[in-house]
Structure 1
């Protein structure tokens, strides 16, 4: 076979063709350019791979949670002594957000609106709730630590380890924090805690229970 010097300054593809033409049988020379064109076209074609979108994890709906028993707490499954530490943490929490180390504001005070907004937006898990008024007499004087706060109810566990579900709308609650007695009107808490935390409350009035 004939040898051939390849000009490195020329087009690389032409150099390859010239080299092949000089070193393969003459009968195969006509096919060289056609075959190289196919390879070059394939090389330029980018593979199109569809990117798979990341699927967000599916969250349970409230209906699914109810069906799975997320909100069901057996009547004697929680011990009062087990949630007492949670109550102590809650006392410190509510003391900070309501600034109870300062004088308690009244309705004419500049701090009154801020105080009431903070109170009704607070998280009541761990609070010691006492039912002082209710349309249902059997709920009156029920007292315990709140272990669940839903849209319509508080679940509390009493010192004798009994869990009771108290409807908010028809009840008035009181709680004491560091010798400060606070009255809560369930009518104004009749909203899911997550939504209540960023809701703007307007003028708060006493619900008409009787």
Structure 2
């Protein structure tokens, strides 16, 4: 004895709302012949873990791409050798061009190119802030006073200006590191029309053809990048 074939529930529901012909047509076109799309398999826990890891990596990559590059640490800078000065390249003749560029730079800082020689008046209030914020790479410095008598008279072009020292190259192609503490340096800035003449020569009036400055190293223990934006205060200087 065979059991009667049960009518699909969808046809029964359609017959309640539509006529028999409309119900048959809707069942055939909308339900019976409509393809059913199935996912082949569900993802395993390992697949879910991999998908989450890739999502984190993409998110991190996007975040890092929007960030500024991280500056090198002091240890990374030392290991990369950016502070090393090759001995075969530390020649006085090589850095003379750097000194010439520095002279032009200081003439612009002190407004020597836009003023007549007789109208130049350098005072601490007018140019003091510019001098302490200037860059001294390429300056010709001479040690005039120091607690170490062996450093007095050392003269050379600055090739590195650190927080506590000046590294200079002398005329004998020697690289010397001079501490700033308890040391007074002297440097000269010639007038634009007198650059090619003798720096220690005197004109007819007995006046020097260069501007002479003295720099107290103990008050100058700052990096060039820090001096550019730092506000300096007047302080009493204890002479050596």
Shift of 1:208: 3.4
| 1:127 alignment partner in structure 2 | 139
TM-score, with length taken from structure 2:
0.63
Uncovered stretches (5+) of structure 1, i.e. residues with no partner:
1-18, 39-48, 107-111
| 1:54 alignment partner in structure 2 | 64
| 2:110 alignment partner in structure 1 | 98
Matched residue count = 174
Equivalent positions of 1:152-191 (< 5 A) are: 152-178=164-190, 179-191=210-222
| Larger Rg over CA atoms | 2
CA distance 1:93–1:21, change in 2 (3 Å):
farther
| 2:233 alignment partner in structure 1 | 202
Shift of 1:187: 1.5
CA RMSD between the two structures: 3.2
CA distance 1:23–1:168, change in 2 (3 Å):
same
TM-score, with length taken from structure 1:
0.71
Provide the rounded CA distance (Å) in 1 between the counterparts of 2:218 and 2:125: 18
CA contact (8 A) 1:187 1:207 kept: no
Provide the rounded CA distance (Å) in 2 between the counterparts of 1:180 and 1:57: 43
Secondary structure of the residue aligned to 1:53 is: helix
Residue-by-residue CA offset, 1:104-142 (whole Å, 9 max, x unaligned):
334xxxxx3241110010000000000101111111110
Uncovered stretches (5+) of structure 2, i.e. residues with no partner:
1-24, 40-54, 191-209
Bigger drift between 53-62 and 154-163 goes to: 53-62
